[in-house]
Structure 1
Amino acid sequence: MFERFTQTARDTVRGACEGAERAGDRRVTEEHLLLALLRQDALPLLGGRRAAIEEGLGAARRRAGISRADAAALAEIGIDVEEIVGRVEETHGAGALAPRGRSRGQRSRFSPEARKVLERSLRVALGRREKHIAAEHLLLALIGVPGVAAEVLAENGVTYAAVEAALDGGGRRAS
């Protein structure tokens, strides 16, 4: 499947792997893919939203990857995620709930959610009758796979319909 990726899409996947490596994360997640898309600066639609998206992803990382929707569901049964995070950070320091690193030399593996994003990007491209998987297809796949990345994108007005409209309206840049 990787042979179908445009150069920008390949660079995005490599960037996600490098980002996970730099962060010391055990797995490449959909958040790493989104951060790599932001760093590629290949999608004008994300340009003005970069800081807010990065902030949203950072907040989710601080909550150990718990989405706002999951935090709201837990609140309904009396569990205050922010309070728990605050207490843990008081005792163990800021970022204590962020994913832990791995031993040196261990290769990054893709999380099941990140694999779903990559697989879905192929389906998105095929559904649009396009031969190659571009950065835009990765973005559409990220939006379509439930999780923190999709939630942060939606909070910042990056919806499936908005991205498709940008693509169909000629807002697509060569990737």
Structure 2
Amino acid sequence: MANIMQSSQEEQIVVFQLMEQVYGIDINSVYEIIRMESITKVPRSPHFVEGVIDLRGRIIPVIGLSVLFGLGQNERTQASRIIIVEVSGQTIGMIVDSVQEVLRIPVSAIEPPPPMVNGIDAAYLRGIAILEERLIILLDQNKILMEEEKDQLLQPNIAGNQA
């Protein structure tokens, strides 16, 4: 019984690095994490869309998270990964510098985000977790894309065949 109580007061997050900062996203929104692969460019796509990938017969739009957040283009390395997530009903890939671990974070360690963190608007964020002297910026998976960005991503030339 104690384990059930404890687990309801903890959240599991996937911890990743982007532009030398540590971020986290709820593990329940993550489908999988894949190595960088060839991304097909899509003409006239929004600035934050890197292109699309074919993931076992499914066309997935891939966004540059650092570009979306206005942090500039991140350098691709052997450690770079694509995190496949569901954002407001849309499956997308997010390019990150590296995936570090999966952590259990006590809910009590999560604080509301300030208006701006490292140049990122708080609208994208769920909170800030302070864990063992580490600061982890928690993304709100349903707000990673604003309505206008979701509309741009759903354009027929980018959305591909989601069926």
What is the TM-score when the length of structure 1 is the normalising length?
Answer: 0.26
From the two aligned structures, give the one with the greater strand fraction: 2
Q: Which has the larger radius of gyration?
A: 1
Name the structure, 1 or 2, with higher relative contact order (CA <8 Å, separation 6+): 1
What is the TM-score when the length of structure 2 is the normalising length?
Answer: 0.27
